[in-house]
Structure 1
Amino acid sequence: MLQLFKESADSDTEDVLSKLGKREVTGSAFSQARYKIEWQFFSDLCAISSEDYDTFTTARWKGYRVFGGDGSTLNLPASKQIRGYFGVQSSSSKTSLARILLVYDVLTGLTLQARLGRMSTGESGLLDDCLLEIPPRPDDLLVLDRNFGNFHMAHKMTCEARPFCIRMSTGISNFAKAVMADSRMDFITEWAPSRSERETAKTSEPIRVRVTKAVLDSGETELLVSSLQDMESFKTEDLVELYGMRWGVEEGIKNLKPKIKVEQFGCRKPQGIYQEFYAHILAMNMVALAGIAATEQIEKKSRSRKKKRKLTYKYNWKNAFLQLRKRIVELFSRESVEKILETLVNKIAQKLVAVKKGRKFSRKGLGKSARTNQYYK
């Protein structure tokens, strides 16, 4: 299962069993046996992969671990059982989609929580479910995009004492329209819920938030609502930088979809979809953990060089995944795990890519992609 079905089930099964010194079985035998494993087993492995995360010394932004939350959709195989469970989003092609959401450390690439569900489940609902498993900490900062820019989410973060920064659409809510009409660019104010927001959030009490407006190069005004009310420690430019870091979770979804091809499923049942989704998240987390160790090597070598490099370098994520996949069976089945890990980290640290700050990608003119034929986002 952890080979992630990049070839056929027969080929992957033969490869794994040969490494384990076991006799070959048919693809049909494997397909029947896999469903004896509950998909929650893979979800639990993901939880184990991140449970010691608090003990790591990882990169921070102004003392905070920065988490990005974002959702996407997955194209699913065409089968009667999958259509019956996930529904059909396109009557002409009978295509089924699933909704996913990641809570992702944008500085380390570790996925703290991931959820997969039907399209009828909203992104906010999936995020609420994820946050139940992430205890609030004063040094954990959650950054969210416009899909979460509502009173309910800001109120929830405030009540749970979770530091946050959320972008809002400028013309949808009365609150957004009111603060956009205010001539101030960075100020603290009270956000009182509207009638519909009072029903959703189940409160009529206002919350105190910071509103930050920034004019982008495109001329568009970016509206940020945050809990970072210390305006001396966090300037306007700091908040703009912080929100820009949210792009890391977009890169995480790109790793999951185009790079390791999560949509290349090897099953035709809903349980298999859940198994493979969480197996891919586990693989991403194993890459992130090995990458943390490789980053220490890279930085140590960089400091020891006589001539300082003009650019900052990081490990090549796709190469790291391929190196992990080569060794994933041994990692779960051999006693000499430390030696295998050492080799893996060394291999990852050898392949680098330059970090080019300030790179931008314009989505203008691309049009709206057909959701049932999408490949990324």
Structure 2
Amino acid sequence: MNNYQKITYQYLQSAIQSVCQNREEHVYYPSADFTRKRKLPMSVVIESIIKFGAQSLNSELLEQWNYHVETPTASAFVQARAKLKPSAFKAVFDLFNQSFDKAKRFKGYQLLAHDGSDLPLPQNVKAHDNHFKRGNANGYNVIHVNFFYDLLNKQFLDVDFQNKRQTDERSSLCQMAQKIKPTQPVIFIGDRGYPSFNLFEHLQRLQHKYVIRCKDVNRKGFLRKSDVPDTDEFDTIVSLKLTYSRTKAIKDDPSFRFLSTTSKFDFLKRGSKDYYEIRFRVVRLKLSESTYECLITNLDDNFTPNDLKELYHLRWGIETSFRDLKHSVDLEYLHTKESSQIYQEIYARLITYNFTMRLVGQVKFPKKKRHWDYQVNVKMAFRLYRRYLNDMSIDIMRLISSYILPIREGRKFERLKFRRGFVGFHYR
């Protein structure tokens, strides 16, 4: 058996056992929950949920217990998992992440992309915080989940849940960035939904670096009325004075930028006549004859425009991770309507993703004369992972390396945008 897969599994088991040793923190009734010897102890319940796929609950249990007559019933399992708080899975997720050496860096920096995605939930009219009406029908349920994703090491590092009605990805990034020490060299990368004076200044004060795309200078967006060169490409420093005041003298000064009464800026009192100076670097890149890309950053000249272009190009990794998380790791196939248990399964799927991608990252392709370079078939890797947790005798690393796909550079497809609903229990 490959030693790396064994070590990775031991890290996961160590995280689960550590949480079980602190049982009182992660159950609802410490004096009673998981205190007696039963068929479903705490560690088994946690590991079982981590193994879940897209099948019905009964099918999942039968698969895990190898169709044994002593397989727990769905009712028994639901009662057992109801004793666990979501914090148990968050703790396993955090402990398992701590065991990973995130060695891949860009000029010494860890690259973290922040982005969010809507997650369709089972229909539950009683869940008022995430239920939405649709005409006279029963409506639908959805929550917004924000992630920190390590782009080079392909690991989810943190997650933040938001009510869909109050979705604010910028605020989420500010809060999640506060958990990272200023001494930790990271670069946060965001798309066009993130440009914000408030966000830039928060990251600047936290001593973190960022690269965030904004709308081009020719469009009505963040850089409107900014004093930037009138050229196809440029690399310049923009200095602005932010204020709520609208005196004639300030209006005549192009170095001022007005904040509306609804603008969120935590470093200037709303209605104040003072101003706040802010400074950042803007780089405009030409992508084709008619398309341009503008990036805002606080990185210095050691990062060239081509470096920034590559950094933002790497951000696409979080988009493909969402696709894998939802469709290959089966995040959209939940096994409960209860909000707390939904959080359990979200953390469990993130553990599944991180475990599998660690193994994928260790696959080495033999040097052969081939027409294409090759990559691992990630969907098959996730399927093999679940089989491996049920049968430790298989050589998962060797199997993963057997399922590969060619890398065809330069292919482009139109990005399809559609909302997919929750796959109901009775369809499984």
Q: TM-score range by the shorter chain?
A: 0.7 to 0.9
Residue 271 of structure 1 deviates from its aligned partner by 1.2
Q: Runs in 1 of length 4+ with deviation above 6 angstroms?
A: none
Equivalent residue of 1:222, what SS? strand
Match of 1:167 in 2: 213
* Structure 1 contact 69–104 (Cα < 8 Å) conserved: yes
Of the three residues 167, 172, 175, the one matched with 1:121 is 167
Give the count of matched residue pairs: 348
Match of 2:3 in 1: none
Q: % of aligned pairs identical?
A: 25
Residue 75 of structure 1 deviates from its aligned partner by 0.9
Q: Tell me if 1:95 matches 2:164.
A: no
Match of 1:33 in 2: 80
Match of 2:51 in 1: 3
Equivalent residue of 2:174, what SS? helix
Q: Assess, with a 3 A threshold, how the Cα gap between structure 1 residues 322 and 5 changes in structure 2: closer, same or farther.
A: closer
* Structure 1 contact 5–266 (Cα < 8 Å) conserved: no
Match of 2:265 in 1: 200
**In structure 1, what residue type is equivalent to 2:284?**
K
Cα deviation code 1:41-72 (max 9, x no counterpart):
1111111121133x3433x3333322211111
Equivalent residue of 1:271, what SS? helix
Distance 2:328 2:290 in 1: 33
Residue 351 of structure 1 deviates from its aligned partner by 2.0
In proportion to residue count, which structure has more helix? 1
* Structure 1 contact 213–224 (Cα < 8 Å) conserved: yes
Residue 105 of structure 1 deviates from its aligned partner by 1.4
Of the three residues 68, 71, 92, the one matched with 1:45 is 92
Distance 1:152 1:199 in 2: 7
Of the three residues 360, 366, 370, the one matched with 1:291 is 360
Distance 1:15 1:61 in 2: 42
Match of 1:317 in 2: 378
Q: Assess, with a 3 A threshold, how the Cα gap between structure 1 residues 199 and 124 changes in structure 2: closer, same or farther.
A: closer
Match of 1:84 in 2: 128
Task: Let me know the Cα RMSD of the aligned residues.
Answer: 2.8
Match of 1:335 in 2: none
**In structure 2, what residue type is equivalent to 1:246?**
R
Give the alignment's TM-score, normalised by structure 2. 0.73
* Structure with greater Cα Rg: 2
Equivalent residue of 1:178, what SS? coil
Equivalent residue of 2:132, what SS? coil
Give the alignment's TM-score, normalised by structure 1. 0.82
Match of 2:237 in 1: 188
Q: Assess, with a 3 A threshold, how the Cα gap between structure 1 residues 235 and 361 changes in structure 2: closer, same or farther.
A: farther
Cα deviation code 1:175-230 (max 9, x no counterpart):
44415674462112224434349752324533332101123337233211012221
* Structure 1 contact 314–354 (Cα < 8 Å) conserved: yes
Match of 1:252 in 2: 321
Unaligned 5+ runs, structure 2: 1-48, 243-257, 269-274, 424-428
* Structure 2 contact 332–422 (Cα < 8 Å) conserved: no
Q: Assess, with a 3 A threshold, how the Cα gap between structure 1 residues 135 and 359 changes in structure 2: closer, same or farther.
A: farther
Distance 1:360 1:374 in 2: 29
* Structure 2 contact 329–353 (Cα < 8 Å) conserved: no
Specify which structure has the bigger relative contact order, considering alpha-carbon pairs within 8 angstroms and separated by 6 or more residues.
Answer: 1
Q: Tell me if 1:145 matches 2:158.
A: no
